[in-house]
Amino acid sequence: MTEIIHLPGIGNSGKRHWHSLWEDADSAIRRFTPTSWDEPDLSDWVAPLEEAVCAAQTPPILVAHSLACLLVAHWHQVSDLPIRGAMLVAVPDPESPAFPSQAVSFADTPQRKFRFPSLIVASTDDPYGSLPYVQTQAEQWGSNLKVIGATGHINGQSELGGWPEGLTLLRDFVSRV
């Protein structure tokens, strides 16, 4: 069985977010928990991610949303723990005017190619990360890219419900890694 660790973005994922709905449907999915969801500090987020990966029985799949996508890039620079792969949804651009000022510690995003397979899922109208930015990140990180159309920030406000298309993307990704 593949272990999955959810990595929500700033503010955590609310009840209408696909992260929460997937967890409600599958109690085996774990969520990492930093000290503060609303005042994110990179070191505070890296440590619980490291702990969550350490606690996994087998190398897990990371499923990150928004700011947590940048967390994965930073974590990759400082950890050698094995993971099977990472699905990164709605990668934000730290240079975007919409990028939250309280997340500045995540802004200097590493560009090194990931040592694990990765899939970036992007929207054509994400207010936090333009498609050209996300395409550049996919190239630099060595990630596959799936563009799913105009779905905003691919979060609870996008009204995706349990986002069955995303679950299919995750299952397909898991089957390939």
- What does the alpha-carbon distance between residue 59 and residue 164 come to, in Å, rounded to a whole number? 24
Any idea which fold 4-176 has?
Answer: Rossmann fold (3.40.50)
Q: In this model, does residue 7 exceed pLDDT 90?
A: yes
CA distances to 17, 32, 52 from 95, rounded to whole Å, are 25, 26, 29
- What does the alpha-carbon distance between residue 107 and residue 28 come to, in Å, rounded to a whole number? 32
Each residue's pLDDT tens digit, 60-93: 999 999 999 999 999 999 999 999 999 999 999 9
pLDDT for res 16: 87
User: Domain extents for the chain?
Assistant: 4-176
Q: What mean pLDDT comes out for the span 105-134?
A: 95
**The pair of three-digit structure tokens given for residue 112, joined into one six-digit string:** 């090194």
